[in-house]
Amino acid sequence: MEDKKEIQYGKCHCGCGGDAPIAKKTRPVRGQIAGEPLKYIFGHWARRYVAPYNGPVKLCECGCGQPAPIAKKTDGHYGHIKGHPVRFIRGHVAITKHKRIAAEPRLCACGCGKTTEKARFTNKKYGTIRGEYRKFLHGHRMRAVSTKEDLIKTFWSKVDIRGEDECWEWTRGKDNGGYGAFKMPGIGVRAHRIAFVLAGGNLNQEKNCVCHHCDNPTCCNPNHLFSGSKADNNKDRISKGRTGTNSRGEKHCNSKLKEYEVREILAQKGQKTQKELAAIYGVHQGTIHAIHARKNWKHIKVL
């Protein structure tokens, strides 16, 4: 092994013999001192002296068994060091990314005894890996809930159970659509879907939607729920006026104000500050500003 040559003061440490520039300011992290020459000319750091590789032959890390080539230059982005073997043969990184271990067929975790199919895509939400067998058959994930007494007890403790014909309100968190959200192991599920399955309802590929007779998204009363296809769900939504402009105002799932309250807010414009009105009606000041500026609730006419 050759010894590293002694570098003269003011010269670039890569060994090119060029004069290193003078540092304009002190940077302790980079070892620069104002008024002193830098260690390297800009862009010459990759040319620095590196001891040659004398180790054993290194194989490609993709598992092909072929020897890895020697890097011709240092590249920090790919982790290459000039004179040292690289990690992968060119083009073999993709083999590692898409390589799947041949797994044996597995039975559905719901207990039905059927064999699951291979996943077509990798999905972190559902825990599927492309090319490997899924944990549940399509639509069978909900069946696993009815076999766990602890989850069932926890679920119904979050529902305000009343009469058979009344709505059973979900008392905990909601999703963006206004439906009750229940956290299961590894996934979040809408509460009314779990209530439907626990009551003996059946979901399949054709009818995988759970609709409400009462048109109340937070209701978990099994008597108010029925299964249907996506087309049935869309027809039910249109027939009840919950699409397009019909879902605006207080009919919107995220609405916190009623129409009469918006009229009161508009009538008090100039009499009270937006901050005072926000405190009275329990909303943000920006909501009051949007109402006064007629950006929101534009369909409400000022009396």
pLDDT of 188 reads 78
pLDDT of 148 reads 67
pLDDT of 302 reads 73
pLDDT of 220 reads 93
Question: What residue ranges of the chain have pLDDT lower than 70?
Answer: 1-5, 45-51, 76, 94-103, 142-148, 185-186, 241-247, 303
Please work out, in degrees rounded to the nearest 5, the angle formed at the alpha carbon of residue 249 by the alpha carbons of 243 and 255. 100
Q: pTM, whole model, 2 decimals?
A: 0.39
198, containing H or E segment:
helix 191-198
In 51-104, which ranges are E strands? none
User: Quick one: CA dihedral 223, 228, 234, 238, positive or negative?
Assistant: negative
Of 233, 218, 204, give the one whose Cα is nearest residue 143.
204
Of 84, 85, 83, 91, give the one whose Cα is nearest residue 64.
91
pLDDT of 2 reads 44
pLDDT of 219 reads 93
Terminal Cα-to-Cα distance of the chain (whole angstroms): 92
- Report the alpha-carbon distance of residue 227 to residue 195 in Å, rounded: 12
pLDDT of 1 reads 39
Do you know the residue count of the chain?
Answer: 303
CA 10 and chain centroid, separation: 52
Q: How many CA atoms lie within 13 A of 2 on its CB side?
A: 7
CB atoms within 10 A of CB 233: 17
pLDDT per position as a tens digit, 2-58: 445 577 888 887 777 788 899 888 887 777 888 999 888 887 766 666 667 787 888
Partners of residue 22 on adjacent β-strands: 37
What's the topology of domain 141-247?
Homing Intron 3 (I-Ppo) Encoded Endonuclease; Chain A (3.90.75)
3-state SS assignment for residue 177:
coil
